[in-house]
Structure 1
Amino acid sequence: MVVFSRVLCYTVFNIKMSSINPGDELQPKRTEKNRRRMMITPIEFDKALSLSRPLFIDVRSESEFNEDHIPGAINIPLFNDEERALIGSVYKKQSPKQARQLGLKILSPKLPGLVYSVQSQGEGRQIILYCWRGGMRSLSLATVLDLMNTHVFRLNGGYKSFRRWIRSYFSQDNFPFQVVVLHGLTGTGKTNIIKKLAERGVPVLDLEGLAGHRGSVFGSVGLPEQPTQKHFESLIWRECHKFKSNDYLVVECESKRIGKLVLPTLLFNEMKAGRHILLYDTLEHRINRIIREYQVDKNREELAKTLGNLEKNLGVKKVKEWQSLIMEEKTYSVLKMLLVKYYDLLYKYPDHPSAKYELSLSSVDENQAANVIT
């Protein structure tokens, strides 16, 4: 522990040991004889992507990680949210030096556990550490790992460089894929067919899956909270990067907004200009499909509650009536009215083959429809 503390003091925090332990003035001399080769390699994000088995380790606090992170990264925070806030407060109200001293005091007891976590989870992988902007947090842990003869990469610019990469990707003039778009009335099985195409190795963007929302008034029912806008964009980039050797992607038709999230303009414009396939099915099949997908019996109260979002469109009286019917287990009737009187009129898709689309497919048999598209 003493060795770890000294290393952090001299090489990272730039604090003399005497400021923490009075009387201890030992300062190692960096001569050619005792100089050791550092095993910390700076790396740009695009170079990191070309490594054979990269593992990104995000050393930021849990809330920073949850807001957005490099897809696939694991979180091994040096400081949790509370500790980070405390250090920040000392930095602003007292001095940078005292903040560094506090950081050292908090971090030192954690170092063995942090090193073990990195070494165990990164075994056989190329480890890339990053923090907010490639500063003190990633350097601290990288320095200690270097002492333990563990080679690591350190991402130049940290998370901020990754975020610049994402913004640049969605700001290019042309989307690198032709987009094939599945259209159809609510309940025609578009999402199911997207998943079946993925199982067959077709390059797909499951936008509703990435957004954690089904895109309708009931879109959030039974699902966890949606990701942040930043992380949604990161997830879309991840899927695009995964299929970079393909020249097309298949997506489900979506409005620009999915729940609280917004599609990147570059992708949305390419969806409008892409190739278009129509899926159609009978009203009865569509209703039964919705009942299965939304697990009505498990989520009856949540379904009734979210129906309240349509009060402006349908009127308070009608929505209250339908909510009561849902709680009375008359969901089939409510869904039938909701489709016929609202969603079908809103989207105006044909419920039969149409020459307006390059291909029209019945989705009665979802597997057969997926086979045709494949």
Structure 2
Amino acid sequence: ITQNFRIGEKVGIYCSRGGLRSKSIAVILSELGFRVVRLKGGFKAYRTFVTHYFENEINFDFFTLCGNTGCGKTELLEQLPQAINLEKIANHLGSSFGDILGKQPTQKAFEAELFHNMQNLENFAFIESESRKIGDIILPLKFYEKMQKAFKIYCFCSLENRIKRIQKIYQEKMTPLKFQQCVQKISPYISLNLRQDLLQSYERKEWQKLIVMLLEYYDKTYKKPDKIDLELNTDDILKAKEEILRYFKLKNYILI
């Protein structure tokens, strides 16, 4: 602690139940000159608080970015203020091919980080449309239900840009073994010929052909929202960002 914090700085301390372990460390650090804040009840109490928060109605307005794979939804989300990146928190890109970022957090850690993100925002946020399950992570039910009722922003762009974006995200991180595992996940839903074509294209590094085949598969499975509140061209992410900011400024939302 003394290597990472200066004497006099505020330090937060917690243990499992807020007992003697954290109390003892807090006393020592206080005597050394640190300003110590100890979590009452420990992580267990904090976890209970977070669980209760997500069990109740979410007092939050969501503006959801929808659209086909590769339309730059995540890229746009990262440019926007007041945003929650669920895929970043879950460490997963959301699809059957999204398990390329490494180990996912535990469900408890995910919910704690999501709660922390929400506490740092006003009572509204931009968010990307997701299924309730992101890899092994399951979105809290009340949170997910609130997402379904959200203001829908439908993103669209050219096939050329979709291919470029997907190749940029996946090509370097997708190992041969991981690709085979991902194809295996969707095998029950595709023909044997398509499965063979996908594996063959990957082996030959025919990236554009491979991506087009996958986009054709995913576009067929994508269900466009019944109600769309705003359509947005995302060929140019910065222009799309400015269009969103202009739109919501007219609606009197304060975007900082």
AA partner of residue 213 (structure 1): H
Q: What are the superposed Cα offsets for residues 152-189 of structure 1, whole Å, 9 maximum, x if unpaired? A: 333221111111111121122x3121110111011111
Paired residue for 1:190?
73
Aligned twin of 2:106 = 228
- Name the CA distance, whole Å, in 2 between partners of 1:305 and 1:129: 42
TM (normalized to structure 1)? 0.61
Divergent runs of 4+, >6 A: none
Higher Cα Rg, which structure: 1
- Taking the aligned partners of 2:141 and 2:105, their CA distance within structure 1 comes to 18
* CA shift for structure 1 position 118: 4.8
Deviation at 1:332, TM superposition (A): 1.4
Which of 95, 105, 129 is matched with 1:253 structurally? Answer: 129
Unaligned 5+ segments in structure 2 are 246-256
> Are 1:281 and 1:363, in contact at CA under 8 Å, matched by a contact in 2?
yes
- Aligned-pair identity in percent equals 32
1:205 aligns to 2:80 (yes or no): no
Q: Equivalent residues in 2 for 1:1-374 (5 A)? A: 117-118=1-2, 121=5, 123-146=7-30, 148=32, 150-172=34-56, 174-197=57-80, 202-221=81-100, 223-243=101-121, 246-294=122-170, 296-297=171-172, 299-301=174-176, 302-316=178-192, 318-340=194-216, 342-349=217-224, 356-374=227-245
**TM-superposition CA deviations, 1:196-237 (whole Å, max 9, x none):** 11xxxx20111111111111121122x121111111101111
Flag the structure with more relative contact order, 1 or 2, with Cα contacts below 8 A and sequence separation at least 6.
2
Q: CA deviation at 1:333?
A: 1.1
The count of residues paired between Structure 1 and Structure 2 equals 244
1:131 Cα deviation after fit: 0.8
Task: Answer yes or no: is the 8 Å Cα contact 2:9–2:34 preserved in 1.
Answer: no
Aligned-pair distance for 1:303?
Answer: 2.9
Give the Cα separation in 1 of the matches to 2:26 and 2:172.
52
Counterpart amino acid of residue 109 in structure 2: H
Code of the residue aligned with 2:62 in structure 1: it is: V
Deviations 1:320-343 (A, max 9, x none): 331121111112112211211x21
Distance in structure 2 (CA, Å) of the matches to 1:270 and 1:138: 37
Q: The residue matched to 1:182 in structure 2 has which SS? A: strand
Q: 5+ unaligned residues in a row in structure 1: which ranges?
A: 1-116
**Aligned partners of 2:46 and 2:221: how far apart in 1?**
39
Deviations 1:303-353 (A, max 9, x none): 34422211122145532331121111112112211211x211111339xxx
Seen in structure 2, the aligned counterparts of structure 1 residues 151 and 191 have a Cα distance that, compared at 3 Å, is closer
Q: Which amino acid aligns with 2:230?
A: L
> What is the SS of the residue equivalent to 1:326?
helix
* TM-score, normalised by the number of residues in structure 2: 0.87
- Conserved in 1, the CA contact under 8 Å of 2:84 and 2:125? yes
- SS of residue matched to 1:360: strand
